[in-house]
């Protein structure tokens, strides 16, 4: 996870200070506006997606519903969760939104946000990887034996994210990072600890799913996987390439900031602008996914019908008169 403090090295003396760069008013309110738009897009979009998947499932084909539901839940909870704060429901994006207005985040909310952020990142990329595997295998992946494997893999992506997210909390590596607009992991004087943690977290939670996505996408492009019949109904999983491209694009700044941290023996974090960009882009992904689902015609029509169709049952015809014709 990204690093918060800067490490100043002078001879043999190491002094750690917290980076507290105040935001200029113009930048602050611009970021507040951007976060507000992303939060509204994510809340409304993912709410509609969940409703459409549950209430309109007969109006479009969705064979591989497990990873799609997991991905939507991850995006939705990445934006909202229950919290006693004047009746508001807040987490991650809305947490950053409030942090910009109030000047930071406090314990224990600080630790909760840091832990769950990595859990949602891990579950999202894991869900996309499972979706790619199921598309490669085809409908056979929904059979009892293989489906149990898919369920286990989906749960594992959530569990591993929670495990790696909890390690910095246990070791008290969490502080508020003004550049990222939320609480994140910082490193004071142990490059080896940082190296081991990031390499293990990326290897298990990021590298393995990305490897599966690459291999499955390559095999599908070469025609080695399941090929649907020409007259077969279009499946919602056809949006998978767009989901993959969106995820890779939006999380590239986050990965780059981590690589910069790995390459610095003095434990200095990535530049402020890059850490801010990594947060804004990762939040954007949550709002883009519902738009990607709507690129599928059947799903889009189901969603529009859910919004605009009158739900009152049509009234029964009433016999008002009988006309008799003489032959």
Q: What is the domain count for the chain?
A: 1
Cα dihedral 196/199/200/201 (nearest 10): 120
Residue 185 lies in a domain: yes
Categorize the per-residue pLDDT at 16 as very low, low, confident or very high, splitting at 50, 70 and 90.
very low
Residue 327 lies in a domain: no
**Contact status, residue 178 vs residue 21, Cβ threshold 8 Å:** yes
Task: Using the predicted structure, report yes or no on whether residue 96 has a pLDDT greater than 50.
Answer: yes
Q: Any residues with CB less than 8 A from the CB of 275 and at least 6 apart, and which? A: 2, 177, 179, 180, 257, 269
- CATH code of residue 33: 1.20.1070.10
Q: What is the pTM for the complete model shown?
A: 0.77
Residue 280 DSSP symbol: H
How far is the CA of 225 from the CAs of 34, 133, 277, in angstroms? Answer: 41, 10, 37
d(CA 190, CA 194): 7
Residue 317 lies in a domain: no
Give the DSSP letter string of 237-257.
GGGHHHHHHHHHHHHHHHHHH
Residue 40 lies in a domain: yes
Residue 96 lies in a domain: yes
Task: Using the predicted structure, report yes or no on whether residue 29 has a pLDDT greater than 60.
Answer: yes
What is the percent of the chain with per-residue pLDDT over 90, rounded to a whole number?
9
- Residue written as token pair 């004047």: 86
Task: Using the predicted structure, report yes or no on whether residue 88 has a pLDDT greater than 50.
Answer: no
Higher pLDDT, 24 or 201: 201
Cα dihedral 109/114/116/121 (nearest 10): 150
Task: Using the predicted structure, report yes or no on whether residue 89 has a pLDDT greater than 60.
Answer: no
Categorize the per-residue pLDDT at 81 as very low, low, confident or very high, splitting at 50, 70 and 90.
very low
Chain centre distance of CA 257: 18
Residue 315 lies in a domain: no
Of 69-83, 148-162, 257-271, which gets the smallest average pLDDT?
69-83
**Contact status, residue 70 vs residue 120, Cβ threshold 8 Å:** no
Task: Using the predicted structure, report yes or no on whether residue 42 has a pLDDT greater than 70.
Answer: yes
Q: What share of the chain is helix, strand, coil (3-state, %, to 5)?
A: 65, 5, 30
Its domain, for residue 87, covers 6-226+234-298
What pLDDT sits at residue 214? 93
């Amino acid at each position: 996870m990204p690093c918060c403090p800067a490490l100043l090295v002078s001879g043999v003396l190491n002094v750690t200070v917290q980076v507290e760069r105040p935001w200029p008013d113009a930048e602050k309110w611009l970021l507040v506006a951007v976060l507000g738009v992303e939060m509204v897009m994510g809340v409304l979009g993912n709410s509609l997606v969940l409703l459409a998947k549950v209430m309109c499932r007969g109006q479009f084909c969705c064979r591989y519903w497990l990873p799609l539901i997991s991905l939507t839940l991850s995006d939705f909870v990445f934006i909202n969760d229950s919290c006693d704060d004047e009746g508001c429901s807040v987490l991650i994006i809305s947490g950053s939104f409030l942090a910009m207005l109030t000047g930071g985040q406090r314990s224990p909310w600080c630790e909760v946000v840091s832990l769950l952020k990595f859990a949602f990142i891990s579950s999202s990329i894991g869900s996309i990887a499972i979706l790619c595997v199921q598309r490669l295998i085809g409908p056979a992946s929904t059979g009892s034996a293989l489906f149990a494997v898919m369920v286990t893999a989906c749960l594992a992506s959530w569990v591993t994210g929670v495990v790696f997210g909890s390690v910095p909390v246990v070791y008290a590596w969490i502080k508020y990072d003004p550049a990222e607009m939320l609480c994140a992991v910082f490193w004071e004087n142990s490059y080896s600890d940082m190296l081991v943690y990031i390499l293990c977290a990326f290897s298990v939670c990021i590298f393995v799913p990305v490897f599966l996505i690459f291999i499955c996408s390559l095999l599908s492009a070469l025609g080695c996987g399941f090929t649907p019949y020409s007259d077969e109904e279009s499946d919602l999983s056809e949006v998978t390439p767009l989901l993959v491209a969106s995820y890779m694009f939006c999380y590239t700044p986050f990965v780059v900031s981590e690589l910069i941290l790995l390459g610095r023996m003095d434990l200095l974090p990535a530049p402020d602008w890059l850490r801010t960009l990594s947060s804004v882009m990762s939040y954007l992904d949550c709002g883009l996914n519902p738009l990607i689902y709507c690129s599928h015609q059947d799903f889009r029509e189901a969603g529009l019908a859910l919004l605009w169709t009158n739900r009152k049952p049509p009234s029964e015809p009433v016999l008002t008169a009988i006309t008799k014709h003489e032959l």
